[in-house]
């Protein structure tokens, strides 16, 4: 029985196919349901998965797939999705060559960081501002270690009524992208704690930015709010009151209504748990007064690093989009293995308990295998009978 083997990496994925080569047909970006890799942002070919290259428009594309679809007679497809003249012929197998490029569902996280003056307060041997910087972009910071798996952007927010012409004052990275740690580090190093805390209005500015610059298809958008104080508002920068708190709750609810999750992290203990809970609930689509969404508090640098790591790894998905389709009724005929020198869950995975098909073109890894993939140390390999592939 001929079998189709494919390999999924925790950050990028490429699949080997069974059988012979054919030409013609549509390339992976011209099909009715394009490959999930098509249109991903890029600046270099290296930013795109195997089988794709970066177009002049700075999006991933491919003229063809590894089976030759998209190429003319006498042509084959190279590893970057370009057609080239090839006289090697076919291998004669009756099972057609099929290339499927599974892509992890990469989350898009916009950090919304409180730039108020209280961020200078002592925080376990440093101050709150520098603790946030270290936890994000230090040598072991969450952005430093996970920026290849998460699209990150960052916005700083504050307002000085005496000098700022616009409220809130938002200072942000030029874009959200993979491997955006350098830009976020530059943003944090070039700025520092300033004045007030118009949290509600600032969340709404991030909503506007997401609407103007939407994430890639299938990417889950998230606002990660890191704040160290009770909110105030543009109309009254000294009003740390119920009105200001309600503005933040309403803004988080508006973000959720726009398809954007809001997660809240308190840097220090100056924000009341009742308010953190209400914002977290609204940001998760729960009733603000009665929901049970998680919120996070950190009172020292170690707790801050742990909280950020927990938040970001929790956002990472273990679902992979496939450009081809698998017969879900025969998915249990497949075999899935994890490997890698530092993989904590190496070995064959059990169908139904450690991996499953969500639908005909989405595979989901479960439990400890999912945790191992999120750590970025494992290679996932799955093999399916050719008969289970829907052409």
Strand partners, 54: 60
Residue 324, domain member (yes or no):
yes
Residue 300, domain member (yes or no):
yes
Cα 76 from Cα 72, distance rounded (Å):
8
The continuous run of DSSP H or E covering 184 comes out as: helix 181-190
Q: Residue 241 above 60 pLDDT?
A: yes
Residue 242, domain member (yes or no):
yes
Q: Residue 389 above 90 pLDDT?
A: no
Q: Residue 19 above 60 pLDDT?
A: no
Q: What is the pLDDT of residues 142-180, one digit of tens each?
A: 999 999 889 999 999 999 998 999 999 999 999 999 999
Q: Which of 86, 47, 46, 92 is nearest to 66 (CA)?
A: 86
> CB atoms < 10 A from the CB of 145, how many?
17
Q: Residue 81 above 60 pLDDT?
A: yes
Q: Residue 17 above 70 pLDDT?
A: no
Report helix, strand or coil for 226.
Answer: strand
Q: Residue 4 above 90 pLDDT?
A: no
Q: What is the mean pLDDT of residues 183-199?
A: 96
Strand pairing class (221-227; 108-114): parallel
* Residue 232: predicted pLDDT: 95
Q: C-alpha angle 110/136/167, rounded to 5°?
A: 45
Q: What is the mean pLDDT of residues 286-293?
A: 95
Residue 98, domain member (yes or no):
no
Note if the bond before 168 is cis, omega within 30 degrees: yes
Residues 299 and 381 in one domain: no
What sign does the dihedral 140-144-148-154 (CA atoms) show? positive
Residues 173 and 287 in one domain: yes
Q: C-alpha angle 357/361/365, rounded to 5°?
A: 35
- pTM, whole model, 2 decimals? 0.71
Mean pLDDT, the chain, whole residue set:
84
Q: What is the mean pLDDT of residues 365-388?
A: 79
Residues 129 and 240 in one domain: yes
Residues 30 and 15 in one domain: no
Residue 165, domain member (yes or no):
yes
Considering the chain, what percentage of its residues have pLDDT values greater than 70? Answer: 86
**How far is residue 162 from each of residues 194, 195, 201, measured CA to CA in Å?**
12, 10, 18
Residues 198 and 257 in one domain: yes
Residues 281 and 198 in one domain: yes
Q: Residue 198 above 70 pLDDT?
A: yes
Domains in the chain, number: 3
Residues 286 and 341 in one domain: no
* Residue 197: predicted pLDDT: 95
Residues 247 and 308 in one domain: yes
- Of 281, 297, 315, at which residue does a domain stop? 315
Q: Which domain holds residue 367?
A: 1-20+320-391
Provide the pLDDT confidence category of residue 57 given band limits of 50, 70 and 90.
Answer: confident
* Residue 163: predicted pLDDT: 93
Report the b/e string of 24-35 with b at 16+ CB within 10 A.
Answer: eeebbbbeeebb
Residues 202 and 280 in one domain: yes
Residue 128, domain member (yes or no):
yes
Q: Residue 373 above 90 pLDDT?
A: no
What is the tally of helices (H) and strands (E) in the chain? 8, 23
- Of 33, 60, 90, at which residue does a domain stop? 90
Q: What is the mean pLDDT of residues 99-126?
A: 85
State the CATH number of the domain containing residue 230: 3.40.50.410
- Of 64, 90, 116, at which residue does a domain stop? 90
Q: Residue 2 above 50 pLDDT?
A: no
Residue 100, domain member (yes or no):
no
Q: What is the pLDDT of residues 328-369, one digit of tens each?
A: 887 887 778 888 778 888 888 999 999 998 888 788 899 998
Residue 95, domain member (yes or no):
no
Q: Residue 89 above 70 pLDDT?
A: no
Residues 309 and 219 in one domain: yes
Residues 230 and 280 in one domain: yes
Provide the pLDDT confidence category of residue 104 given band limits of 50, 70 and 90.
Answer: confident
Residues 265 and 124 in one domain: yes
Contact predicate 54/48, CB 8 Å:
yes
* Residue 10: predicted pLDDT: 36
**How far is residue 365 from each of residues 91, 104, 321, measured CA to CA in Å?**
33, 11, 12
Q: Which of 93-97, 123-127, 214-218, 352-356 has the lowest mean pLDDT?
A: 93-97
Provide the pLDDT confidence category of residue 90 given band limits of 50, 70 and 90.
Answer: very low
């Amino acid at each position: 029985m001929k079998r189709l083997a494919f390999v999924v990496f925790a950050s990028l994925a490429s699949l080997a196919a069974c059988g012979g080569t054919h030409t013609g047909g549509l390339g992976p970006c011209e099909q009715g349901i394009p490959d999930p890799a098509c249109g991903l942002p890029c600046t270099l070919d290296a930013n795109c998965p195997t089988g794709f290259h970066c177009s002049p428009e700075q999006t991933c594309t491919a003229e063809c797939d590894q089976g030759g679809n998209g190429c003319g007679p006498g042509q084959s497809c190279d590893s970057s999705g370009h057609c080239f003249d090839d006289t090697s012929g076919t291998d004669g197998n009756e099972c057609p060559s099929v290339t499927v490029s599974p892509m992890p569902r990469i989350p898009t996280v916009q950090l919304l960081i409180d730039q108020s003056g209280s961020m200078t307060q002592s925080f376990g041997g440093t101050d709150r501002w520098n603790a946030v910087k270290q936890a994000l972009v230090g040598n072991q910071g969450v952005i430093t270690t996970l920026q290849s798996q998460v699209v990150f952007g960052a916005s700083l927010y504050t307002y000085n009524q005496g000098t700022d012409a616009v409220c809130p004052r938002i200072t942000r990275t030029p874009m959200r992208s993979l491997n955006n740690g350098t830009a976020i580090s530059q943003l944090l190093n070039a700025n520092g704690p300033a004045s007030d805390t118009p949290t509600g209005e600032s969340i709404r500015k991030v909503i506007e930015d997401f609407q103007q610059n939407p994430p890639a298809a299938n990417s889950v958008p998230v606002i990660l709010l890191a704040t160290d104080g009770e909110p105030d508002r543009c109309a009254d920068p000294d009003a740390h009151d119920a009105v200001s708190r309600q503005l933040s709750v309403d803004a988080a609810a508006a973000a959720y209504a726009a398809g954007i999750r809001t997660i809240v992290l308190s840097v220090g203990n100056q924000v009341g748990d009742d308010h953190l809970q209400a914002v977290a609930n609204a940001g998760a689509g729960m009733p603000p007064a009665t929901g049970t969404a998680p919120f996070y508090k950190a009172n020292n640098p170690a707790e801050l690093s742990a909280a950020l790591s927990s938040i970001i790894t929790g956002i990472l998905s273990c679902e992979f989009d496939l450009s081809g389709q698998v017969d879900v009724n025969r998915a249990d005929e497949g075999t899935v293995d994890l490997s890698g020198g530092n993989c904590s869950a190496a070995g064959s995975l059990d169908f139904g308990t450690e991996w499953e098909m969500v639908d005909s073109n989405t595979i989901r890894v479960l439990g400890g295998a999912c945790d191992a993939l999120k750590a970025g140390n494992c290679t996932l390999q799955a093999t399916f009978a050719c008969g289970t592939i829907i052409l």
